Amino acid sequence: MRTSALAALALVSAIALPVSAQESLSRAVTAIDQKVQPQSLRDLSKRLMPAVVNISTQQTIAPNGLPTFPEGSPMERFNEFFGRDEDGFQRQGSLGSGFVISPDGIIITNNHVIDNADEIEVNFSDGRVLEATLVGRDRDTDLAVLKVDSRTPLPFVDLADSDHAEVGDWVIAIGNPFGFGGSVSAGIISARNRDLNSGRSDDFIQTDAAINRGNSGGPLFNLGGEVVGVNTAIISPTGGSVGIGFSVPSNLVKRISSQLIAHGKVRRSWLGVNVQDADEALVKAYKATGKGGVIITRITDDGPAAKASLEVGDLILSFDGQRIESVREMTRLISEAAIGKTVPLAIIRNGKPRTISVTLGELQDEDPAAAANALPDLPASSNDLGAELSSLDDDIRRRFGIPKDVDGVVVTSVSARGRSFGKLSRGDVIIEVNFAKVSTVTDTVAKVETAMKTPKQPLLLRVKRRGDAGWFDQFISVQLSK
């Protein structure tokens, strides 16, 4: 916009506008330029600095079995070399950033800044150093709340409505990079809704404002002086800023910090299921419409889903009236819903739509994620599925570690040139083909051959697969047309 405006000014000047017209256009271009880039961040930085703090921690580590050399010994200097005191203890410190959100001393920072700390000190820009206590922390969002006691009200900053933050907005980061303290960097919001696979609540703001080690826990401000995010992570091959930093959005910070202040922990709703993403082909195989959804692959006994009679294999299309297109989206909606709330789920079961109401419980423990086995590169198989199949007998069960309560047909190899390559894995047990149970190779192949008569409709397989947490259900669509 700035370049175009200057080019327009040069063009108009070249055709000799009257002086008054040139002055008006010049003022207009100046106004555009000021909207694109602020002239100075000096006054804003001065106003915000007092509410941004440096955080230092100390952790005492017990003796590790190495000897402690006595005072006066020629080896005494090695105690200091190994970072140990006279009793053999080591003390490790870390530095980070934070910011005050209330005059009574409530401070926001990152959990990893204060994790395992025995002592936490907060350093203010006026030179004061106050001891902090931990109010609560949440590892999933990497947020922590601290409290300091001050005889006078502390300067503080407000949290913005991060839903209004847009790509291209100017932002400034204030923090403690590399221990220098009180440093300001500026940039823009580069992207929204980034997922770093670090937790169920990943929804980061990406910025090119310089964020380095020591900036963790510090605020990302908009030009109104409100905190739009908490600086948390960077991607860098060198350890320093390369213009790819990530901040936790302030609306998520509000929700998490309010619970930490009220309860000392975060309480999240729980549905009691494991789910997988359903791509467009899987949705089509379920005879549904749309580009996404999630399929239930495991149901926790006595959990909310089990009590609501949800079943493994149900395709969930909406949660509480909101369309679901991915596991990440559903996880976010569940975690933001109120514990004890009854919500309707729009599902597809056996190719037919229905609505089931579920009363959400409270999340207690996390279920470990299951990993799929790698696929071998083997010669082409003889059937339309492109996989070698075998009936289950005692020898096959021992070979693949298949429990006695699992029935179906086992996949012994997958063709690199077959239809199911990249879908099935060696050791998978096929238990259903297009919602119909199978128990023999002949029955399975026959159902695949029947499905081949309508090749535009994807084949839906339900398999049992072994992961780190045991055997679980996986739903797979196989495109029959080539």
Q: 261 and 406 share a domain?
A: no
Query: CATH number for the domain including 278?
Result: 2.30.42.10
Which residues participate in the annotated binding site for substrate? 112, 142, 214-216
Tell me the C-alpha distance between 13 and 321, whole Å: 58
> Is 454 part of a structural domain of the chain?
yes
Tell me the C-alpha distance between 313 and 258, whole Å: 37
Residue 436, classed as helix, strand or coil, is strand
Q: 429 and 447 share a domain?
A: yes
Quick one: which of 105, 97, 118 has its CA closest to 146?
Answer: 105
> Is 33 part of a structural domain of the chain?
no
> Is 1 part of a structural domain of the chain?
no
Q: What does the pLDDT read at residue 74?
A: 54
Q: 191 and 108 share a domain?
A: yes
Q: 215 and 278 share a domain?
A: no
Residue 196, classed as helix, strand or coil, is coil
Quick one: which of 403, 412, 383 has its CA closest to 464?
Answer: 403
Quick one: which of 195, 214, 194 has its CA closest to 205?
Answer: 194
Tell me the C-alpha distance between 427 and 431, whole Å: 13
Q: Hey, what amino acid is at 212?
A: N
Q: What does the pLDDT read at residue 374?
A: 34
Q: 130 and 202 share a domain?
A: yes
Contacts of 54 (CB under 8 A, 6+ apart): 95, 96, 97, 98, 122, 123, 175, 176, 181, 182
> Is 29 part of a structural domain of the chain?
no
Q: 315 and 437 share a domain?
A: no
> Is 130 part of a structural domain of the chain?
yes
- Count CB-CB contacts under 10 A for residue 216: 27
Residue 433, classed as helix, strand or coil, is strand
Among the listed residues 138, 142, 203, 428, the single catalytic one is 142
Domain boundary among 266, 282, 300: 266
- Count CB-CB contacts under 10 A for residue 36: 12
Tell me the C-alpha distance between 314 and 351, whole Å: 9
Residue 451, classed as helix, strand or coil, is helix
Among the listed residues 216, 241, 335, 425, the single catalytic one is 216
Could you say which DSSP state residue 179 is in?
A: G
Quick one: which of 145, 105, 111 has its CA closest to 128?
Answer: 105
Q: 243 and 117 share a domain?
A: yes
Quick one: which of 300, 292, 424, 454 has its CA closest to 365?
Answer: 300
Rounded to whole angstroms, what are the CA distances from 206 to 143, 173, 326?
A: 17, 12, 21
Among the listed residues 56, 94, 97, 112, the single catalytic one is 112
Domain boundary among 266, 301, 330: 266
- Residue span of the structural domain in which 462 resides: 387-478
Tell me the C-alpha distance between 250 and 165, whole Å: 10
Q: Hey, what amino acid is at 438?
A: V
Indicate if 112 belongs to the active site: yes
Domain boundary among 328, 362, 396: 362
Q: 198 and 106 share a domain?
A: yes
- Count CB-CB contacts under 10 A for residue 432: 18
Q: Is-contact 270 334, C-beta < 8 A? A: yes
Specify burial of residue 22 (Cβ count, 10 A radius: 0-12, 13-18, 19+): middle
Domain count, the chain: 3
Rounded to whole angstroms, what are the CA distances from 253 to 52, 58, 224, 261?
A: 16, 25, 18, 12
Q: 249 and 295 share a domain?
A: no
Q: Is-contact 346 353, C-beta < 8 A? A: yes
Q: How far is CA 104 from the centre of its chain?
A: 31
Tokens, residue 84? 């140990």
> Is 376 part of a structural domain of the chain?
no
Q: 304 and 318 share a domain?
A: yes
> Is 286 part of a structural domain of the chain?
yes
> Is 312 part of a structural domain of the chain?
yes
Q: 295 and 443 share a domain?
A: no
- The partner residues of 403 in beta bridges, in order of sequence, read none
Q: What does the pLDDT read at residue 61?
A: 57
Q: Is-contact 246 233, C-beta < 8 A? A: yes
Tell me the C-alpha distance between 467 and 369, whole Å: 8
Q: 232 and 274 share a domain?
A: no
User: Phi then psi for 359, rounded to 5 degrees?
Assistant: -95, 115
Q: What are the residue ranges in the chain where pLDDT is below 70? A: 1-38, 60-93, 197-201, 365-382, 416, 482
Residue 335, classed as helix, strand or coil, is helix
Rounded to whole angstroms, what are the CA distances from 44 to 72, 171, 224, 417?
A: 56, 11, 8, 62
